[in-house]
Structures are given as structure tokens and as C-alpha cells.
Amino acid sequence: MSEQFSKGQKIAFSLGNGVEWFINSAFNLWVFTFYFSAVKLSIGYIMMAYIIWTIWNAFNDPLIGYLSDRTHTRFGRRRIYVMIGFIPVLALEILIWLPPLSGQITQFYYLLIMLLLYDTAYTLIALPTDSLFPELYTSVKERTQVNTIRQIFAAVGLILAALIPGIFIGDINARDGYLMNGIVTAIIVGVSLLIFLKWGAKEREEFKLDYQQNFSLFQGLKYAFKSLGFILYIIMFFLYEFILLLLATIVPLFSNRILGTTSAFETSILMGLLYIIGIAFMYIWKSLDIKLGSRIGYGISMVLYFAASIPMLFISSYFEAIIVVIFMGIGFGGMLYFIWYIVADVIDDDELKTGVRREGIFFGIANFFMRLSMILSITIVGLVFVQTGWDEYKPIPNVDVDFGLRFLFVVVPGIALGVSLICLYFFPFTKKKVLEMKAKLNELHQEKMDKVRTS
């Protein structure tokens, strides 16, 4: 099959993925630290806000995904949602850093409201953007090509999310820097989303009639969970997001407490290096994908990542951590590449069975579990902090929390990766099966195109 999209369109489209990762990672990396360290909000209140936030996602993400599958406008069924969420997400990126100056209950409600509003606006942007990837690029050649570009932009977004806050925040215990970081972030996101909407967010003609589905919301959810491949993917995706969120939550504290860093910028360098190395090895993972298939490639990346992280159990200097992070970045690049690629095979299989593209409902469910992973990550962090007596922030705690932080950095992610490897072993989409599906999809898409042109 010939390529359907230009290089420029693929780059503009992938920029949308980078923006998505940038804003969400900057949010996840610093919101907990801000409210815990600068606002001094109790860990119990933070945990409660995160849990309520995730319950909201039980309805928010699948519903928006389902609606995008069924939407039909002159702007398309995905693009219109990005347009709606554009202004709100920029405003909320600034407002999140402006909580009341005092009052634990008041600050708790402010955090909760900001989390609920932000997530709704973010979902309006992220879910349609993710859904467009498997929908636009269905051939192996274009999908691997665009996925590589997307994940490079995603890694760039992660790097910016790690480095930019470090430039403006300075002292993690002071509020002012966080607000400036939010303003700069909103400007970068706004410009990038305009480029994405103008040149990248396209929709394919042959899927114009796919909004005419017989699935209700609950029927769509039920049918999606009948797929063994999707269930296994959801478990792996949940654990992948759990690891990222866990690291985003504890790295600033790990860096300060164990490595002796004195500024947010040093922490940003540490996180940024992980993503830079991930970018450097992205094309190697793409080659491995073409040669061995995504299932085997993803397994190798997880093993490499965990093996590289083990020294974090005993090192104590910033320089040693830099060396360890370099090796961790190799496996991290593969994890980043494959986790967003293998879900496309699940969606292709669903189209062959149902006759329609239903990316929205699949990514809606996936996004719900991504948010659900926040509960697990924040709960585990909270439990470890409580057990070590660090349930409220103190500049020099009179307890030894080093073991707890090391445990959270290495052992907990290791357990999550082990479960993921078991799921991957039973994941049904081998390289051979994927190639067979592509041949059948080409025939189906031609039939759809003929139907659109005669309707």
C-alpha cells in the first residue's frame, strides 16, 4: 500500500503527541511536589483528592471516547474535541498553581476542583489525538514510521517537562516559580496545538461512515473487554503508567533526600537525561520491531530497564545516579516506543470483527486505567511515607526514609514489570498474525471507501 500522508503532515501530527506528553508529564511531575512541599498540604488530603479524581475518570474518559466514535461534524469526529479543549487546558495549566495561601480544607477543595477540570480538558485533547494514530496510519510501514516520530516528540515533551520546570521553580519549597512554569508551559502548548490542528489533525475519508454504529456505551465497553488481547494490554498499560507516575512523584524527593541535590534544576537534569537517552535509542527499537515484532521487542526493553535500575538501591551520589539513568534510558526508550504501538494491533483486530473503527472507546478505557494507576501510585507512596513517619513534609525529618524511597524507585517498579512480562507472554498478536491482519484490513478499507463514494 502506498503512503497516504506527507512527511510534513506526519511531523505536525506527531507534534500533537509531544504536546500531550509535555503538559501531562509536567503536571504529574510537579503537582504532587508543589502541594506537598510548597503548599504543605497533608499527604492524606492529597491522596483523597487523587482518589476522587480517578473516580471521576471512570465516567469521563470512556464517555468522551465513546462520543468521539459517534460524532459527525464538518470538522471530523476527533478534531472537534481538540478544538473544544484547547482554551480550557491552557487556563487550567496556570490556575493549578494558584491555591489559597492557607487553610488545609480550602486548599484540598481547590486541588480537587483543579484536578477534575484539568482532566476533563486534557482528555478532550489527548484522547482524540491518541485515537487518530491507529486510525490514520494502518499500514505497517507508515505506522512504524509515524510511531517512531511520535515517540521522539513524546520523549522531547518529557524532556521539556523535566527541564523547563527546573529552570523556573528553583526552590521546591517556594510557590512563585511554579506559577511562572505554568505560564511558560501554557504558551508552548498553545503554539504547538495550533500547528497540530492546522496541519496534522486529518481524518480519513473511508472512515466517514464509521460513526454509524449500533453499539451503545455499555455495549461497547462490554464488547471491548471480550478481547483477551485488550485485557492483557490494559494490564500492561496500567502498570507502565503506574511506573511513570510513581517515578514522577518520588524523583524530586529521591534526588533531594538521597542524592543531596539542592535545586529543582538538578532533578530536571536527571529526568531529562532518561528521556534523551530514550530518544537516542528510538530508531534501534524501531529496527528491532521490524525484525522481531513488537511483542518480543517490548519484553526486551522491560528487562533492560529493570536491570539498569538496580544500582539505585545503594548509590548515594548525584554523579552515580547520572550514570545509572543513562543505562535506564536505553530500556525506557523501548518501553515508550512499544506501549503505544501494540494497542493499534488490538484496535485493528476489533475492526476486522465489528467492521468499524472504535479507537475512542478503547483509548477511553485505557485513559481510565491510566488515571486509575494514579490511585495505586499515590497510595503506595502515601503508605510508605506514613510507615516511615514522613506523612507531613518536614525539611529535615527525624526519621530514616532512604530505604522507603529506594524501595519505591526499584523494587515496586520491578514487581510491576514482572507482571507485565507475564501478560506479554500471553499477548496474542505475534508478528505473523499482525501481517495477516494487515492484508485483511486493506480489503476492508477498500470496501469502506467504495461505500463512502457511493453514499
Q: Round to whole Å and give the CA distance between 25 and 341.
A: 19
Q: Of the given ranges (86-95, 215-224, 320-329), which has the lowest mean pLDDT?
A: 215-224
In a domain, residue 4? The reply is: no
Q: Round to whole Å and give the CA distance between 366 and 361.
A: 9
In a domain, residue 1? The reply is: no
Sign of the Cα pseudo-torsion (387, 393, 397, 402, in order): positive
Number of domain units in the chain = 1
Q: Are 380 and 246 in contact (CB under 8 A)?
A: yes
In a domain, residue 61? The reply is: yes
- Contacts of residue 372, defined as CB under 8 A and 6 or more positions apart, other chains included, come to 54, 57, 238
pLDDT in tens, 130-172: 989 988 998 878 888 898 899 889 888 877 887 787 788 877 7
Give the distance, in angstroms, between the CA of residue 70 and the centroid of all CA atoms in the same chain.
Answer: 24
Q: For the CA atoms of the chain, what is the radius of gyration? A: 21
* Average pLDDT value for residue range 439-450: 89
Q: Are 119 and 53 in contact (CB under 8 A)?
A: yes
In a domain, residue 415? The reply is: yes
In a domain, residue 275? The reply is: yes
pLDDT in tens, 165-206: 778 887 777 888 899 989 999 999 999 999 999 999 988 888
| Residue 446 vs residues 90, 140, 207, 213: alpha-carbon distances, Å | 40, 17, 11, 19
Q: Of the given ranges (126-130, 282-286, 383-387), which has the lowest mean pLDDT?
A: 383-387
In a domain, residue 351? The reply is: yes
Residue 371 pLDDT grade (very low, low, confident, very high; cuts 50, 70, 90)? confident
Q: Round to whole Å and give the CA distance between 213 and 355.
A: 9
pLDDT of residue 9: 93
Q: Of the given ranges (70-84, 93-107, 149-163), which has the lowest mean pLDDT?
A: 149-163
pLDDT in tens, 232-279: 999 999 999 999 888 878 888 888 888 888 777 787 788 788 888 988
pLDDT of residue 388: 60
Q: Round to whole Å and give the CA distance between 348 and 207.
A: 13
Q: Which helix (H) or strand (E) holds 306?
A: helix 294-309
In a domain, residue 227? The reply is: yes
**Does 24 score more than 90 pLDDT?**
no
Range of the domain at 366: 9-454
pLDDT in tens, 287-327: 999 899 999 999 999 999 999 999 999 998 999 999 999 99
**How does the average pLDDT of the chain come out, rounded?**
87
pLDDT of residue 392: 52
Which pTM was predicted?
Answer: 0.80
Q: Round to whole Å and give the CA distance between 298 and 281.
A: 13
In a domain, residue 2? The reply is: no
Q: What is the CATH number of the domain that holds 432?
A: 1.20.1250.20
pLDDT of residue 252: 80
Q: Round to whole Å and give the CA distance between 420 and 84.
A: 36
